[in-house]
Structure formats: C-alpha cells, structure tokens
Amino acid sequence: MSDPAVKIPSLNSLRFHKVGTGDFWQNSIPFMEAQNARYCQKMSVGDLFVLQISIKDYDLHTGVYKPVCQLVDDEGTVVQSFAVKQPVTIPYIGAYYHLYFSDNLDNHADGVYYCKLTVYYPINEDLGDWASMVFYSEPIYIRTHTNTVVIRYGHTTNDFDCIFTDAPVPDFALRIEGGIKSEGFTPGGKFQVFTDLDYEPVMLQGNAWTVYKWTFGPGEGMPNYMADKLNRLFACDTVTIDGVGWMRNEGAKLEPTREQGYPSAGWSIELLKVESETSEGFDLDPFTVDIDTVTSDSTLITCDKTLT
C-alpha cells in the first residue's frame, strides 16, 4: 500500500472526514441504534485553534500542494481563514512536510460552524489544471460555554505524526464537557511498614496521594471518536486541564457509561495531579494592600448558624 498524499493526525482536537469517502458522525450511526443522537464539539470566542497536517513531497516555496484552512458556517460561508505555517527547525520528516494552522477564534455569532480543509494539487502543471481534496470537521458549536474545561496537550518529542519540539508550533487545545464527581475521589498511597517481634508497627516510609476519576461528556453522552481523542491526548507527557497539570494513572483506561441502543456515552478515566499535593499553594493577589488597612470582614462567615 502506497503512502497517502495527505495525513491528518488523530491527535488533532477536531475529527475530519474526506468528502466523497466519509461522512459526519451523526450520519454514520449504526442502523440498530438511536438515530437522533447529536454532538457538537465546543469552542468559545478567543479559544486557540490548532491543526497539524502533513503532505507527502510538499514544498512550501514551489507550492506543489496548496492547503487552505477555513472556518465556515452551516451555509458554507467562510467566516475566518487560517494561514498555513511551517515549523522552522524540523519541517520535514521522512517523505512528509509538516504544516500547521493556528490562531485564536474571532468574535463569531453563536452558532454551528465547521472547519474546512482544502488541499489543491496539480493534475497537469503545464496546463495549470488543478484538483482538490476537501475535508470537513465534525460540527463545532461556538458560544460562551459553561461546564466545560480546556485541555492543552503537547509532548517533549516529535511523535504521533506530530511536531512538538519546534517552538513556534503551539500545543493542541480541546474544549470539552468535564469534571470530577464526588464519587471520583480515591485516596491512596504507598506505605512501607515494619512490624517488630511484639507486633508493634513502625512506619518506615509513606507517600500518600489521591486518584481522581474525571468524567467527560454532557449528560446525553458523546461519540466514541471523542473518547479516542481523550485516549490519545492522555498518551502525551504534558497535559493541563484549565492550567493544572494532570497525567493518566498507571494502567488507567477510559470507561464508558452508556445506555443500550444509544450511540453516545459518558467517559471516565483515572488521573493523577502532576504536582505534589503535600501542600496547598496560594499566589499573591495582583495588587498591594497596606497592612494597616486590613480589617476583619464579618461577611466571610457564611455558614448557617442554625445548624447543630
């Protein structure tokens, strides 16, 4: 099998299909399951958009291939264009040139949009005849979203068909519904205890930590391809959720919670905080307060005094 002309890494935050050979998820639900399931990936104005692709035998200067990335509304009207960029130090790996698009989302009206990727290529250079491959992302719902988190993820080496070590290339970003339920809290640790002849225990060494089970997806669930995105991004060695570092617990797998006959599911995975929790740190407030003006504030006491 020959190498493909264009590769879109699965680690990208958006899922694409090629027009003519694929379809949107909601049009691909197995016939024996509920056909009314819908899902849109979430983005908000100002969110970072990052897309990496690689093209075989591409040359940015001669323009043998011309990739164009655009954000379009549900009528196909272009509302934002993203300039193609090339890594500075490592643009070429094997037979493939790596390219990327990155920018913050403009101030678009609330609604459903799509990322459209078009790759133009010559079929007769002498006559100037060109053809194109067109790819569409799954639908993106742009608005100010609540109950979502932003996952930023990168890696210390170039892997997964992606470039990570070139400074201009930003980490990926994924906005998704997610959080930790009260039941998703499991204290644990590793402890070495010695018991003497009188069976009196002595703690030789102890290290306590907490395993957190994160749950992702809205109440009605999300498609399997979103779970695949999560599974892949948690293979990266640098992952933050709303700015806090997290890492997959050893051996942890994504676990679905689904209803029979319904194609969407909620997904959970055990994560560990990257930084030690032996202390709780607090940053200084971004202003200076004269210590002589600091007084007790009785409004800080907000508990219900009728409780016994």
Determine, yes or no, domain membership for 176: yes
Q: In 3-state terms, what secondary structure has residue 91?
A: coil
pLDDT tops 80 at residue 232 = yes
Which pLDDT band, with edges at 50, 70 and 90, does 132 fall under?
very high
Which pLDDT band, with edges at 50, 70 and 90, does 292 fall under?
low
Determine, yes or no, domain membership for 295: no
State the pTM of this model: 0.85
Higher per-residue pLDDT: 289 or 246: 246
Higher per-residue pLDDT: 197 or 236: 236
Higher per-residue pLDDT: 187 or 60: 187
pLDDT tops 90 at residue 148 = yes
pLDDT tops 90 at residue 266 = yes
CATH number of domain containing 50: 2.60.40.10
pLDDT value, residue 204: 81
Average pLDDT over residues 55-76: 80
Q: Residue 259 belongs to what domain range?
A: 6-181+212-273
Contact (CB, 8 A) for 41 and 25: no
Q: From the CB of residue 154, how many other CB atoms can be counted at a distance below 10 Å?
A: 18
Determine, yes or no, domain membership for 64: yes
Number of domains in the chain: 1
Q: Give the percent of the chain with pLDDT over 70.
A: 89
Determine, yes or no, domain membership for 278: no
Determine, yes or no, domain membership for 1: no
pLDDT tops 80 at residue 173 = yes
Average pLDDT, the chain: 88
Which pLDDT band, with edges at 50, 70 and 90, does 70 fall under?
very high
pLDDT value, residue 124: 73
pLDDT value, residue 162: 93
pLDDT value, residue 125: 64
Q: Which two tokens stand for residue 170?
A: 């930003």
Residues 247, 14: Cα–Cα separation, whole Å: 21
Closest CA to 120 of 60, 61, 58, 66: 66
Average pLDDT over residues 259-283: 89
156: CB partners within 8 A, 6+ apart: 164, 165, 237, 238
pLDDT value, residue 5: 87
Which pLDDT band, with edges at 50, 70 and 90, does 66 fall under?
confident
Sign of CA dihedral 195, 196, 199, 200: negative
Determine, yes or no, domain membership for 290: no
pLDDT tops 60 at residue 1 = no
Determine, yes or no, domain membership for 186: no
Determine, yes or no, domain membership for 60: yes
Contact (CB, 8 A) for 54 and 6: yes
